[in-house]
Structure 1
């Protein structure tokens, strides 16, 4: 009995058979190319030019901007500030939001939805507006925070939260955590919704109390989500440009100089803008972000394997 091997259709035939899918994808592909692919390519090109952003003179300098960046102490300072913000705020934000999610996920808690909404409202508020408002709130000359501290007798004189290098970065980190706390909270609430109620019913049948169910059921089942949420929060934390710019502009004495702010200052805001050098700094910072994105992809695959085994 002979069998006839059917020839696979050619690429052109397969594309034509799915032509309507490509037609509907075309707007997305065009926007992705215009706003993602093209800026990446142009940044790589500009990073090899000595260009101020204006004028026709664009001498090609090759890798000179990258060599200058590696020897730029302020670039490494800004990268250290960014990594410090990540190292401090991410664990606190993830841990506190997990505890809050465990409380708000209780169906017997009154006004749980109200509390969820209240905690999420800052996340949808414009960051630049929050930065400006916080500048007034922490103002040493009559700001409500200093006024409260003076009335309670905690301090003898106003504290310049945003003007003192010893307190400015901590103040910015505190505002940043408050601003984006609701996003991480939503991540944990979504993760808690994936745990079947039958698991808790089985635990109660076996005599497990609230603490035992949390320790032996909830936390182990949330472990795969931990890696993803930590990496998502870290990537979000790197995008702190608008908050730092409106609150401190990288000062005082570069104490809050996040990398995005330094790139902006070099490319656009300096007395002599250097778009080519700013593009080189942006490419290097993009590589750092790419490392976190790669870790996120690995974390997602690990979480999927853990969930498939559980």
Structure 2
């Protein structure tokens, strides 16, 4: 199963990238590195790459620390009904992304959209705004929805890390007169650093692949303002407007895969760097 559905397609994508091929018939027209050269010089590809990078940076910088704050609250012994709140915040994670995207199109829609209705009634807007139909706001809305959709998973990661910390250290710190802030600063943060590095790595890599949400919400529009590399590859591989270009799509996928690998190696180095620094400060 792994060979047929994973390994073979990956290997063949490298082969396809050297051909001008529409996905049907034998591989006949060998063009060498022409597909890669076209990818490098295509401004639409780099626009999609830029959008992907912005999505990743904003999502990680906003979602990861907010998820930690919420995990600290949900892990507190004084909070009643924490299991209920955990389920509520985790619910978007198990919701189908395509369904979420379609629902959000109505919520942020210009015509009788829920967001516009609420903002107009509050007096914050004079007239409806096409949130996902405007170049200025479409990417921001996609990022907000992306943060909300996967927020619960990061929260669970942080909770798992917090609940694995030895309670004896906190009890000893209390005996020594450490305040809650000092416990967080000198015990929680150092002990959570390795876990946080892994969460950062997983969040960044997952954020670089956001095809389903964008496809359902905006399909890359308006004017490629929310276009992502996964969607860019999909358009060329399974084009409904003109002939498909599987060879070119394969080259774009390989190029982007190398970029993702490079980012993963950088973040993976961070994980290794912090792996041995898990002892609390003095």
Q: Same fold (TM over 0.5)?
A: yes
Asked if structure 2 preserves the Cα contact closer than 8 Å seen for 1:47 and 1:280, the reply is: yes
How far has the Cα of 1:94 moved from its partner?
Answer: 0.5
Q: Find 1:62's aligned residue among 32, 40, 51.
A: 32
How far has the Cα of 1:111 moved from its partner?
Answer: 1.0
Match of 2:95 in 1: 125
Q: Which runs of 5 or more residues in structure 1 are unaligned?
A: 1-30
User: 2:155 matched to 1:185?
Assistant: yes
Which has the bigger relative contact order, CA under 8 A and spacing at least 6? 2
Distance in 2 between residues matched to 1:263 and 1:243, nearest whole Å: 15
Q: Which runs of 5 or more residues in structure 2 are unaligned?
A: none
**TM-score calculated relative to the size of structure 1:** 0.87
Match of 2:258 in 1: 287
Asked if structure 2 preserves the Cα contact closer than 8 Å seen for 1:48 and 1:65, the reply is: yes
Distance verdict in 2 for CA 1:190–1:174, change over 3 Å: same
Match of 2:70 in 1: 100
Asked if structure 2 preserves the Cα contact closer than 8 Å seen for 1:232 and 1:296, the reply is: no
Asked if structure 1 preserves the Cα contact closer than 8 Å seen for 2:21 and 2:245, the reply is: yes
Match of 1:205 in 2: 175
How far has the Cα of 1:161 moved from its partner?
Answer: 0.5
The 5 A counterparts of 1:130-169 are 130-169=100-139
1:102-139 Cα deviation digits (max 9, x unpaired): 11111220111111111111011110010001111111
Q: Secondary structure at the match of 2:48?
A: helix
Distance in 2 between residues matched to 1:92 and 1:203, nearest whole Å: 31
Asked if structure 1 preserves the Cα contact closer than 8 Å seen for 2:192 and 2:278, the reply is: no
Match of 1:37 in 2: 7
Q: Find 1:300's aligned residue among 268, 271, 278.
A: 271
Q: How many residues align?
A: 280
How large is the RMSD of aligned CA atoms in angstroms?
1.5
User: 2:202 matched to 1:232?
Assistant: yes
Distance in 2 between residues matched to 1:35 and 1:58, nearest whole Å: 24
How far has the Cα of 1:62 moved from its partner?
Answer: 1.1
**TM-score calculated relative to the size of structure 2:** 0.95
User: 2:214 matched to 1:244?
Assistant: yes
Match of 2:245 in 1: 274
Asked if structure 2 preserves the Cα contact closer than 8 Å seen for 1:231 and 1:292, the reply is: no
| Bigger radius of gyration among the two | 1
Match of 2:235 in 1: 265
Asked if structure 1 preserves the Cα contact closer than 8 Å seen for 2:21 and 2:247, the reply is: yes
Higher mean displacement: 293-302 or 110-119 = 293-302
